Amino acid sequence: MARNNYLFTSESVSEGHPDKVCDRISDAVLDAFLTADPYSRVACETFATTDRVIIGGEVRGPQSVIDSVEEIARGVVRDIGYEQDGFHWKTMKVQNYLHAQSADIAQGVDAAGAKDEGAGDQGIMFGYATDETDALMPAPIHYSHAILKKLAEVRKWGGETWLGPDAKAQLTLRYENGMPAAITSIVLSTQHLDPDLSSAEVRERVEPIIRGEIPDGWIAEDCVWHVNPTGKFVIGGPDGDAGLTGRKIIVDTYGGAAPHGGGAFSGKDPTKVDRSAAYAARYLAKNVVAAGLAKKCVIQLSYAIGVSQPLSIYANTLDTGEVAEEAIEKAVNAVMDLSPRGIREKLQLNKPIYERTAAYGHFGRAPEADGGFSWEATDLADAIKAAV
């Protein structure tokens, strides 16, 4: 039996968090390759520390993109807003160690003769959806993202120039009868460029912004607030703590409300099922819930390197389903080709749409006209319902 009454917490981090700086650089490099050649192969990793960015990994694509990596990295850091002693887009040292994709991996992934494209690696991927928000996302992670995204907007364009790029938010929600009832604690740590600001003064400035991103009546009267609980937060970003691509996989997905297969997303082209199959699993789970077949749905897909079709498809509606889970498993397999090629073509994943995913979550966003966040569409709901 699923629990109906409990507390649950999720966190998000801003675009200026050291790990997110690295995720975005890796995805910006990926977008540059896909712009030059939609069939590029990219597995790009980034490490950042005091005044230094190191980029490495394996690629198959135009040399001109490899040669432009330093410019790409500086552009990302400039857009995020780092112009501080210890990490400045203009003065940081950038080292580029990208190299050619392994021939051993390529032979398993590439199509040849009667062989379709295989998965870029073995692994398990999960997708999740819940009807507790309009975006069909868990509320704690959804609103944690919203708070930080709004703080970035007012920092860049709303006149709140005292804010720095680095920040983390965390929400605890009380659930009653399985649905969000109230926010019982709010944690925000945000970099501030005025060293004289106290935690109380930071809270006074950010509390109206936070309240503006939360639905009316959701913040409990006795909600506990922790704003910059350690005190001063002036040194932020990679100068304050090193960053690495792929270290925020729970922030990127469902805030811990659903299983995770362990694979990171950023810097990987869509032949890597760590990314593309996780997007497909979210797409299917969201459409199951949108079809009214369940209030919550987990979809698991599994793959073997070099093999095109998934080894298994698993559905779990967490005691909220209107139909048998076996029927959902058969239906989602019937309505979508879940090979790497099928996923890529259905969701238009060979487009340069990835840099925008690197902060504020890969899920719960609105589909965009150029194909961005295509996995958030609910256009498959009728087909799944009919197949069931």
pLDDT of residue 111: 57
CA dihedral 73→79→82→88, nearest 10 degrees, is 40
Angle at CA of residue 124, ends 368 and 245, nearest 5°: 60
pLDDT of residue 3: 82
User: What domains appear along the chain, each with residue ranges and CATH number?
Assistant: 6-12+139-235 (3.30.300.10), 123-131+273-387 (3.30.300.10)
pLDDT of residue 114: 47
Angle at CA of residue 194, ends 189 and 195, nearest 5°: 80
- Answer whether 248's CB lies under 8 Å from 20's CB: yes
pLDDT of residue 1: 57
Q: Distance of alpha carbon 26 from its chain centroid, rounded?
A: 13
pLDDT of residue 118: 76
- Answer whether 83's CB lies under 8 Å from 31's CB: no
Handedness of CA 210, 150, 142, 379 (dihedral sign): positive
Report helix, strand or coil for 204.
helix
Angle at CA of residue 293, ends 289 and 297, nearest 5°: 50
pLDDT of residue 338: 97
pTM: 0.95
What radius of gyration, in Å, describes the C-alpha atoms of the chain? 21
| Low-confidence residues of the chain: pLDDT under 50 | 112, 114-115
Tokens for 254, please give them: 């469902």
Q: Which residue(s) pair with 79 in the sheet?
A: none
Q: In what order do the strands lie in the sheet with 243-244?
A: 93-100, 52-60, 41-49, 243-244
pLDDT tens digits, residue range 204-236? 999 999 999 999 999 999 999 999 998 899 999
Angle at CA of residue 146, ends 378 and 237, nearest 5°: 125
Residue 179 falls in which region: left (phi positive, over 0), alpha (psi -120 to 50) or beta: beta
Active site (catalytic) residues: 17, 19-20, 45, 58, 168, 233, 241-242, 247-248, 268, 272, 274
d(CA 200, CA 205): 9
Comparing CA positions, the residue from 177, 168, 188 lying closest to residue 132 is: 177
Q: How many residues does the chain have?
A: 388
